[in-house]
Amino acid sequence: MKQLLLVLLGLLCTENAISQNNNLSNSPNIQENLNSIVKGSAGMTMDNRYEGITGTPYLVPRWLSATVTTRQKKVVEALPLKYDVLGQHLLMRDPQKGDSMLLDDNAIASFVLSDPSRIPEKREFRRFLEAPNPAQAREFVEVLHQGKHTLLKQYSKEIQKASYKGAYGADRRSDDIRDKTTYYLLSAGKAAVPVKLSLKALQAAAPELAAALKDEASKRPARTEVDLVAVLAAVDN
pLDDT of residue 30: 34
In the 8-state DSSP scheme, what is residue 44? -
pLDDT of residue 35: 38
Indicate if the pLDDT at residue 105 is higher than 90.
no
Alpha carbon distances (Å) from 174 to 49, 55, 164? 15, 10, 9
Residues 104/14, Cβ–Cβ less than 8 Å: yes
Residues 229/145, Cβ–Cβ less than 8 Å: yes
Q: Please give the backbone phi and psi of residue 47, each rounded to the nearest 5 degrees, phi first.
A: -100, 100
Residue 204 to residue 227: CA distance in whole angstroms: 18
- Report, as an integer, the average pLDDT of 142-157: 96
**pLDDT tens digits, 18-75:** 333 333 333 334 334 333 323 333 434 445 556 667 778 999 999 999 999 999 999 9
Q: What's the predicted TM-score (pTM) here?
A: 0.76
**166 torsion bin: left (phi>0), alpha (psi -120 to 50), beta (else):** left
| 146: exposed, middle or buried (Cβ count in 10 Å: 0-12, 13-18, 19+) | middle
- Report, as an integer, the average pLDDT of 190-196: 90
DSSP E strand stretches across 115-148: 122-127, 140-146
Top-confidence residue, 172 or 187:
187
**pLDDT tens digits, 219-228:** 999 999 999 9
Helix (H) or strand (E) holding 5: helix 2-11
**pLDDT tens digits, 109-122:** 999 999 998 888 99
